[in-house]
C-alpha cells in the first residue's frame, strides 16, 4: 500500500482501502488479526488518529470487529462485503474516468466496448 497526499481521497480512506486490498488478496484472512494502529501509523509515518479513523470506518461497516484487549480482526464474510462495496464504487471510480477519456479521444461507444472486450479477454488468458 502506498499513500498519496496528492490523491483526491483523504489519507484515512486510503488506509481503509489498503486494508480492504489486504483482505481481498488474502493477506488479512477472515477471523485473522490486522496490524495495530500504532504499527500502521509507524509504517506510513502518519498520525495515529488518522490510522484509527481508517480502521474505525471499516469497523462501522462490519468489515472489521474489535476483540477487547486483543485488537482488530477481520469479520466473517468480510471478503464478500468488500467486493460488494467495491462493485458499487466501480462505476464512479473507474468507468466514469474511462468514458471521459474515450470521449476526449473521440472514440465511439462501439470502439470503446471493443477495447474493453479485448482487454478483458487478454487479462483472462
Partner 1 sequence: MNKIELTGTYKSFGTVQAVKDVSMTLEPGKIYGLLGRNGAGKSTLLNMITGRVFPDAGTITVDGEGVIENDRALGKIYLMGESKYYPDGMRLKEAYHWAAKFYPDFDLENAYYLAKQFGLNTRKKFKELSTGMSTMFRLSVALSTGAPYIFLDEPVLGLDAVHRDMFYRLLVEQFERHPACYVISTHLIEEVTGLLEEVYIIRGGELLLHESTEGLLARGYTATGPVSVIDDFIVGRTCIGSDSLGGLKSAYLLEPVETAQIPEGVEVSKLNLQQLFVQLTKEQGGIV
Residue 49 contacts partner 1 per CB under 8 A: yes
Q: Does residue 45 bind partner 1 (CB under 8 A)?
A: yes
CB closer to partner 1 out of 93 and 119: 93
Collapsing DSSP states into helix, strand and coil, what is residue 45? coil
Site for partner 1 in 59-78 (CB under 8 A): none
Decide: is 8 part of the binding site for partner 1 (CB under 8 A).
Answer: yes
> Does 106 engage in binding with partner 1 (CB under 8 A)?
no
- For residue 38, the minimal CB distance to partner 1 (Å) is 5
- 61 CB-near residues (< 8 Å, 6+ apart): 81, 85
Least Cα distance to 15 among 124, 25, 48 occurs for 48
Q: Is 38 in the site for partner 1 (CB under 8 A)?
A: yes
The binder of partner 1 chosen from 1, 32, 47, 88 (CB under 8 A): 47
Residue 54 near partner 1 by CB under 8 A: no
| Neighbour-count burial for 46-85, b at 16+ CB within 10 Å, e otherwise | beeebbbbbbbbbbeeebbeeeeeeebbbbeebbebbeee
**Is 6 a binder of partner 1 (CB under 8 A)?**
yes
3-state helix, strand, coil in the chain (%, to 5): 60, 5, 30
Which spans of this chain sit near partner 1 (rule: CB under 8 A)? 3, 5-8, 10-12, 38, 41-50
Amino acid at each position: 500500500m502506498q499513500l498519496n497526499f496528492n490523491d483526491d481521497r483523504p489519507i484515512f480512506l486510503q488506509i481503509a482501502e489498503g486494508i480492504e486490498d489486504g483482505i481481498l488478496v488474502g493477506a488479512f484472512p477472515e477471523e485473522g488479526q490486522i496490524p495495530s494502529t500504532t504499527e500502521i501509523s509507524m509504517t506510513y509515518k502518519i498520525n495515529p488518529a488518522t490510522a484509527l479513523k481508517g480502521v474505525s470506518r471499516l469497523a462501522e461497516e462490519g468489515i472489521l470487529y474489535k476483540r477487547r484487549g486483543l485488537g482488530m480482526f477481520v469479520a466473517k464474510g468480510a471478503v464478500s462485503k468488500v467486493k460488494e462495496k467495491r462493485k458499487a464504487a466501480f462505476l464512479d471510480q473507474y468507468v466514469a474516468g474511462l468514458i471521459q477519456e474515450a470521449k476526449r479521444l473521440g472514440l465511439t461507444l462501439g470502439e470503446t466496448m471493443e477495447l474493453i472486450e479485448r482487454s478483458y479477454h487478454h487479462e483472462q488468458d
